[in-house]
């Protein structure tokens, strides 16, 4: 790698707030995953996991509020804990289903 190429990588990594090694690792793993048919990066998987968790919390809270029941702090804490435990599993399921649909 030339000094100029390294400087380009370093600038990109700095802009994204990571080390050059971390940035290179993420890019390389994304290429490996793409070759295996998995297109989501670790950052994308994490983001999807958080969205899935928030969706679960919202839907469960709305379900509880629909019949005019009170949503206590303890209820909300349990919903958040449950969503956090399941978020990565659900995100992986959704990514796998999306990849399967793309192949059809």
pTM: 0.40
For residue range 36-65, what is the model confidence (pLDDT) as tens digits?
776 666 677 777 778 878 888 888 788 777
Residue 86 pLDDT > 80, yes or no? no
The 8-class DSSP code of residue 70 comes to -
Under 8 Å CB-to-CB from 74, ≥6 apart: which residues?
none
Q: How many residues does the chain have?
A: 104
In angstroms, rounded to a whole number, what is the distance separating the alpha carbons of residues 17 and 69? Answer: 44
The whole-angstrom distance between residue 19's C-alpha and the CA centroid of its chain comes to 20
Closest CA to 59 of 80, 30, 74, 42: 80
Helices and strands, counts by H and E, the chain? 4, 0
Lowest mean per-residue pLDDT among 21-25, 42-46, 97-101: 97-101
- Given the structure tokens 């990514």, which residue do they identify? 95
């Amino acid at each position: 790698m030339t000094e100029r190429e390294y400087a380009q990588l370093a600038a990109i990594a700095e802009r994204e707030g990571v080390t050059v090694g971390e940035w290179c690792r993420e890019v390389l793993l994304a290429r490996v995953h793409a070759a295996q048919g998995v297109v989501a990066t670790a950052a994308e998987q994490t983001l999807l996991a958080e969205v899935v968790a928030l969706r679960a919390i919202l839907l469960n809270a709305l379900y509880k509020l629909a019949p005019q029941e009170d949503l206590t702090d303890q209820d909300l804490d349990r919903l958040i804990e449950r969503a956090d435990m399941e978020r990565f599993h659900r995100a992986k399921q959704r990514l796998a289903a999306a990849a399967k649909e793309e192949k059809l």
